[in-house]
Structure 1
Amino acid sequence: MQIIDSVDAIQRADFAAGSCIAIGKFDGLHLGHQAILERMRTTAEESGARSVAFTFANHPLSFLRPDACPRPLMSREQRIEAIAGLGLDACVMVEFNADFASIPAEDFVVDVLVGKLNAKHIIMGADFRFGHRGAGDGELLRALGAKHGFVAEVLDWVEDDEEGQVSSSRIREALLAGDVEAAGRMTGRPVAVRGEVVHGDARGRELGFPTANLGGHVEGLVPADGVYAGWAVLDGVSHPAAISVGNNPTFTPNEVSRVEAFILDFADDLYGQTMEVRFAHHLRGMVRFDSLDALIVQMDADVVETRALLGC
């Protein structure tokens, strides 16, 4: 997949055959986003045009209203990888800054999407707004399509059978409440975070449960403190794991929350490696135990439940 990181870097010659473009923030790449991108991809294939996702490296509110900007569900790299996994030809991921924010809605469509990307078909979600002060909407896009010779398509919300309307904000709420199952239903995959495995305090090893600890910059939105069943992905291989998010209320109640994975039936040295942690099920909240024996009994129970839920 071709990755373009600025409007100036777009070469019209790359899109001589025309393009079918999906525009949006695509934070979390949930089922609604996937529906938009899949519709765009199949339309591009049918017409012989290139399939293009147009999105932002940062959330627009990080520039417009930093105090109101939500925490991102995925890092830039995670989004690019997820978009590439859908089989698209190109992704334009630009920085939302003062220059971009100042582009009038009509100029964005006519000069950028049509002028540079040679758009023949443009698709967006019903709730998406574009252009200076968010002046652009589905109605304007359709009017510009009729005027400039492209098809404008606006897709409605996608609904989950259990969760109802799917949105990035609802996924964020679910994760911050520890409901990784609901978040996973809305994204169509287990939610994941990623980072480097670093040295911890070795307390888990002393208790018979050695953990791989994520440190430094962790990509993705970490769910609420608690214990989870899921997977640790190393070099593309998934391993079942019991996962702890939080401090250790029994030993270090004042520490900053961290992500630790006890990888089942695994004993290799992982320090310095990149590990992705995928959350499948919430087991319990974080609690303080009155004795070391009580903690070990609960950790054993967590592992048993993890095996049962993951079928391993």
Structure 2
Amino acid sequence: MRIWRDLAAIPAAERGAAIAIGNMDGVHLGHRALIDRARAIAAERGCPSAALTFEPHPRLLFQPDAAPFLLYGPEEKLALLAATGLDATYVQSFDRALSLLPAAEFVAEILVRKFGVSHVVVGEDFHFGHKRGGDVALLRELGGRHGFGVTTLAPVPAPDGGVCSSSRIRALLAEGKPAEAAALLDRYWTLQGVVERGDQIGRTIGYPTANFRLGKVLHPARGIYAVEAQIDGHGPWHAGAANFGIRPTVADRGDLMEVHLLDFTGDLYGRRISVRLVDYVRPEKKFDGLDALQAQIALDCRVVREMLAAARPRGSAAGAS
């Protein structure tokens, strides 16, 4: 998949694409439906298939102090998009100027002048332009005027009776329901970070951990998780028990992901670790001391092994899950 950030430099061969439009945070089943339809239309027309996404996420422009909410960072999202089989992804910079662009000008300047689109695929609740002033009815009207087709898709149903959406996935993760979130993502949600040195208390009680910060991505429910972890983006996935939270028994260092790999030995400091959340074990809890904490971790690890043995396999994308 080719990635275009300098949208003024898109060559003629990349113009005329069938494009799926959206923020694509999560590249979940709903986004996959848009992308699959765009790819099918591109195959019928003999044109490129592409996704148009926006960086940074518009919410970061309008709510810069909002709590972390992104499901993936930009590079992880692009890796997931590449795994869909798209020919290209256009990364449109979202800034104040773009946010002020009226709907009709967004179509004329971005979709037509920059991309020369032949077809666009959007959700039926798609809005665009200044103050979200454009809807799918206007998009169809403008498509007829400028000579491109428009396909709209209904939301993909979720197993719980709702719809598949990034906001629903965020809510499930915040509620400590990673397995339910995985059903909408069609993969286990994966976090990445560089292992940092801590106070090494885990080593003193027989459970060393690899610790990292989540940064600007969503913070899931605090507590203990059954996880699988991969080192440096390749090789096997190792079974693990992870705690996300403030470590109330030891010391509050702010929200931290601590991963104990069950059958692994080796120095992980400074290495990149990918951790996919498979299931939720229990909420974070303060214990009376290290002996009580050690005993609980032993119980948690037994539960984690059982959970991982029973877990449903989920797909993954290179570098992202």
The two structures, once aligned, show a CA RMSD in angstroms of 1.9
- On the 8 A contact 1:232/1:276 being kept in 2, the answer is yes
Q: Which position in structure 2 is the counterpart of 1:5?
A: 5
TM-fit CA distance, 1:12: 4.5
Alignment TM-score, normalising by the size of structure 1: 0.92
Residue 59 of structure 1 pairs with residue 57 of structure 2: yes
CA distance in 1, matches of 2:217, 2:62: 22
Task: Select which of 90, 93, 96 maps to 1:95.
Answer: 93
Q: Which position in structure 2 is the counterpart of 1:248?
A: 247
- On the 8 A contact 1:120/1:150 being kept in 2, the answer is yes
CA distance in 2, matches of 1:169, 1:42: 27
Q: Which position in structure 2 is the counterpart of 1:223?
A: 220
CA distance in 2, matches of 1:163, 1:273: 41
TM-fit CA distance, 1:65: 4.2
CA distance in 2, matches of 1:61, 1:278: 25
Q: Which amino acid aligns with 1:14?
A: A
Task: Select which of 192, 211, 219 maps to 1:194.
Answer: 192
- On the 8 A contact 1:15/1:118 being kept in 2, the answer is no
TM-fit CA distance, 1:246: 0.9
Q: Deviations over 1:154-197 (max 9, x none)?
A: 11111112252122112112222222122212211111111101
Q: Which amino acid aligns with 1:84?
A: A
SS at match of 2:248: coil
CA distance in 1, matches of 2:161, 2:265: 38
Task: Select which of 193, 203, 206 maps to 2:204.
Answer: 206
Residue 106 of structure 1 pairs with residue 104 of structure 2: yes
CA distance in 2, matches of 1:117, 1:12: 9
CA distance in 2, matches of 1:132, 1:303: 51
CA distance in 1, matches of 2:125, 2:224: 35
Q: Which position in structure 2 is the counterpart of 1:233?
A: 230
- On the 8 A contact 1:37/1:53 being kept in 2, the answer is yes
- On the 8 A contact 1:230/1:278 being kept in 2, the answer is yes
Task: Select which of 142, 162, 166 maps to 1:168.
Answer: 166
TM-fit CA distance, 1:53: 0.6
Size of the aligned set, in residue pairs, is 308
Q: Which position in structure 1 is the counterpart of 2:176?
A: 178
Q: Which amino acid aligns with 2:228?
A: W
CA distance in 2, matches of 1:269, 1:66: 37
Q: Which position in structure 2 is the counterpart of 1:14?
A: 13
Residue 27 of structure 1 pairs with residue 25 of structure 2: yes
The verdict on how the C-alpha distance between 1:163 and 1:213 changes in structure 2, with shifts beyond 3 A counting, is farther
- On the 8 A contact 1:192/1:220 being kept in 2, the answer is no
TM-fit CA distance, 1:84: 0.9
TM-fit CA distance, 1:71: 2.0
Q: Which position in structure 2 is the counterpart of 1:140?
A: 138
Alignment TM-score, normalising by the size of structure 2: 0.90
TM-fit CA distance, 1:105: 1.6
The verdict on how the C-alpha distance between 1:213 and 1:295 changes in structure 2, with shifts beyond 3 A counting, is same
- On the 8 A contact 1:55/1:94 being kept in 2, the answer is yes
Higher strand residue share: 1
The verdict on how the C-alpha distance between 1:162 and 1:303 changes in structure 2, with shifts beyond 3 A counting, is same
CA distance in 1, matches of 2:294, 2:245: 17
Q: Deviations over 1:109-151 (max 9, x none)?
A: 2332223222111001122211122122110111122222221
Q: Which amino acid aligns with 1:131?
A: G
TM-fit CA distance, 1:200: 1.3
Q: Which position in structure 1 is the counterpart of 2:258?
A: 260
TM-fit CA distance, 1:14: 3.2
After superposition, residues 261-276 of structure 1 pair within 5 angstroms as: 261-276=259-274
Q: Which amino acid aligns with 1:80?
A: L
- On the 8 A contact 1:163/1:182 being kept in 2, the answer is no
Instruction: Decide which moves more: 110-119 or 237-246.
Output: 110-119
Q: Which amino acid aligns with 1:220?
A: V
CA distance in 1, matches of 2:66, 2:136: 25
- On the 8 A contact 2:68/2:219 being kept in 1, the answer is no
Q: Deviations over 1:203-254 (max 9, x none)?
A: 1111111111114x646323111000011111323111111101222121x3
SS at match of 1:268: coil
Q: Which amino acid aligns with 2:101?
A: I
Q: Which amino acid aligns with 1:130?
A: F
CA distance in 2, matches of 1:70, 1:249: 22
- On the 8 A contact 1:193/1:222 being kept in 2, the answer is no
Q: Which position in structure 1 is the counterpart of 2:319?
A: none
Q: Which amino acid aligns with 1:230?
A: V
SS at match of 1:8: helix
